[in-house]
Amino acid sequence: MIRAMFEQRYVSDLLQKAVEAFSRLPGIGPKSALRLALYLLRQEEEESENLAQSIVELRRKVVYCSECRMISDAALCPVCSNPERDRGIICVVENVRDVMSIEHTGRYKGLYHVLGGIISPIEGIGPTDLSIEPLMDRLARGVVREVILALSTTMEGETTCFYLYKKMASLDLNVTTIARGVGFGDQLEYTDELTLGRSIAVSYTHLTLPTIYSV
């Protein structure tokens, strides 16, 4: 009752519906949603239809790669279907955006595996909620010689790295992690102790950092 009193109402029910729809998007508040809706009203009808069609096709036609769980237009993503990629290396990441970030560097030539998240007991996300078993199935084929764990440096990311390392301990392959520490151009006096310590000490698994990510 009280919430309804403070809800913004518009002269058009259709405008209201559009604003509510935009407001459901991440990072879009009511004011931003209203600006988007009014912007579309000022554009040619064809432009709005193209936008709507793109959204529908995105939702209906984009699938997840059967190998790495990356988004794709086909059963295999462009990376997995590329014969020039090094199939002996798999980089394990948390989400699709991480793949895009690494690909943007143009330095990595191996394959990927998207977990779809990281282990987080607080959020109720356990190992079975992630794409870990499909990863183990890929490794069991015996083609991969190195796995790079490229996960976030949060407590959840570290927990996931440790879990994966234990899972792969019995396999005949190298398990490495991306370089973590002092960034290029940073001054040591302004670097926090944890980051500086990571830059100097050997990682907890005594793993070699892959040179493809080293500066």
Kindly give, in sequence order, each residue whose CB lies less than 8 Å from that of residue 30, ignoring residues fewer than 6 positions away: 8, 19, 23
The CATH 1.10.8.420 portion of the chain extends over 2-61
The fold of 2-61 is Helicase, Ruva Protein; domain 3 (1.10.8)
pTM of the model: 0.77
203, pLDDT greater than 60:
no
Q: What angle do CA 125, 97, 169 make, to 5 degrees?
A: 55
Q: What is the pLDDT of residue 6?
A: 37
Task: Give me the half-sphere count of Cα atoms (radius 13 Å) on the Cβ side of residue 118.
Answer: 19
Cβ–Cβ < 8 Å for 114, 102: no
Sign, Cα dihedral of 188, 193, 196, 200 = positive
**DSSP track, 86-138:** EEEEEEEESSHHHHHHHHHHT---EEEEE-SS--BGGGTB-GGGTTHHHHHHH
Look at strands 71-72 and 63-64 and give their pairing.
antiparallel
CATH 3.40.1360.10 residue ranges in the chain? Answer: 85-213
Task: Give the CA distances from residue 26 to residues 29, 30, 49, 98, in Å, rounded to whole numbers and listed in that order.
Answer: 8, 12, 22, 18
CB 81 within 8 A of CB 65: no
pLDDT over 60 (residue 5): no
The rounded percent of the chain whose pLDDT value lies above 90 is 69
pLDDT at 154: 86
Asked whether the predicted pLDDT for residue 2 surpasses 60, the reply is no
Q: What is the pLDDT of residue 178?
A: 82
Residue-by-residue DSSP string for 21-59: HHHTSTT--HHHHHHHHHHHHHS-HHHHHHHHHHHHHHH
Residue 89 has pLDDT above 80, yes or no: yes
CATH of 85-213, one of 3.40.640.10, 3.30.450.90, 3.40.1360.10, 3.40.50.2000: 3.40.1360.10
* Res 1 pLDDT > 60: no
29-81 residue pLDDT tens: 999 999 999 999 999 999 999 999 999 999 999 999 999 999 999 999 999 99
Give the CA diameter of the chain.
67
How many Cβ atoms are within 10 Å of 40's Cβ, its own excluded? Answer: 15
